[in-house]
Amino acid sequence: MAFARLAILPTYKVVSDTIEREILAGRLTAGDILPTETELADQFGVTRHTVREGIRILEQSGLVRREAGRRLYVAEPHYGDLAPRLSRAMVMQRVTFRELWEVSMDLEPSAAAHAAVRIDADRLAQLRANVMATEQALAAGASIIPLDVAFHILVAEAAGNRALLLAREPVTQLFYPALERLFTHPKTASVGPRRLIEAHRRIVDALADGDATLAREWMRKHMVDFRRGYDTAGLDLDDALEATAAPPAAPARR
């Protein structure tokens, strides 16, 4: 007979796995305060430093959080925590604009369609405010890109599907630099933003009417426009995306 290879894990990994298991099993739930590092070290029978390495791992997956210098508590991982890492992975694999666009072509119209039947008054108001803010930003010569990104997030949130949110977030984060190039390019800077706002307005109207088909269709057109602008600007669909600093990464602690 032959033995299988032993799975020997470093202690810090065992520490993080153990705490993770408690959280996933529901014995520790969001908001619970974890024991101090010293206590954990005593309980596990390891050094505090080993515990700390384990904690670093848990922090990365968003399962626990700590506000600078304070006690550790259990948290529900938010998609905003995980998306940046996925985005970076895509950048490193030199994902192209075409690939991103294809995925968005599936998810964004679908998000709009779902939103049409599930949206509530509150979020509808937020969307209207977003469209107005976009118009004002354009008139004032400010960048409309953050508002555009926010618009699509609002629609996705209105769709009431958290799996959809998680799937689309890393993709749309990467559109940021592409949009930047688009709206500063001489060939597309003049007409692009107007068509964008027009599309956004039509989508909001369709959502307000609860018209899923129309919402889907306008979102689809909006995405096609995006790609056409990319072509018009003479940019290559199959170029790899460039690395970019996380754009909406407002720390906003406290």
User: Judged by CB under 8 A, how many residues of this single chain contact a second copy?
Assistant: 57
Supply 93's token pair: 């694999």
User: Exactly one of 25, 27, 70, 122 binds DNA (CB under 7 A); which one?
Assistant: 70
Tell whether residue 82 is a contact of DNA (CB under 7 A): no
Handedness of CA 86, 87, 89, 95 (dihedral sign): positive
Measured between alpha carbons, how far is 66 from 44 in angstroms, rounded to an integer?
A: 20
Nearest CA to 158 out of 182, 123, 185 is that of: 123
Does 240 contact a second copy by CB under 8 A? no
Q: Which two tokens stand for residue 188?
A: 């597309």
Q: How far apart are CA 140 and CA 156, in angstroms?
A: 27
Residue 254 CB, nearest distance to DNA (Å)?
10
Residues 144-183 vs a second copy: string with x where CB under 8 A? -----------------xxxx-xxx-xx------------
Secondary structure class of 86 (helix, strand, coil): helix
Among a second copy, DNA, none, what does residue 71 contact (CB within 5–8 Å per kind)? DNA
**Binders of a second copy among 26-85, rule CB under 8 A?**
30, 49, 52-53, 56-57, 59-63, 68, 76-79, 81-82, 85
Cα distance between residue 124 and residue 120, in whole Å: 6
By CB under 7 A, residue 10 contacts DNA:
yes
In this structure, the number of other CB atoms found within 10 A of the CB of residue 46 comes to: 17
The CA-CA-CA angle for residues 80, 86, 90, to 5°, reads 140
Check residue 61 for interaction with DNA (CB under 7 A). Answer: no
CB 252 to a second copy: min, Å: 9
Q: Which pair of structure tokens corresponds to residue 131?
A: 């469209």
Query: Is the CB of 15 or the CB of 131 nearer to a second copy?
Result: 15
Between CA 231 and CA 42 the distance in angstroms is 62
* Binding of residue 254 to a second copy (CB under 8 A): yes
- Looking at the chain, how many residues does it have? 254
Q: How far is the CB of 166 from a second copy (least distance, A)?
A: 6
Contact residues for a second copy, defined by CB under 8 A: 5, 7-8, 10, 12, 23-25, 30, 49, 52-53, 56-57, 59-63, 68, 76-79, 81-82, 85-86, 88-93, 95, 99-100, 102-103, 105-107, 110, 114, 161-164, 166-168, 170-171, 243, 251, 253-254
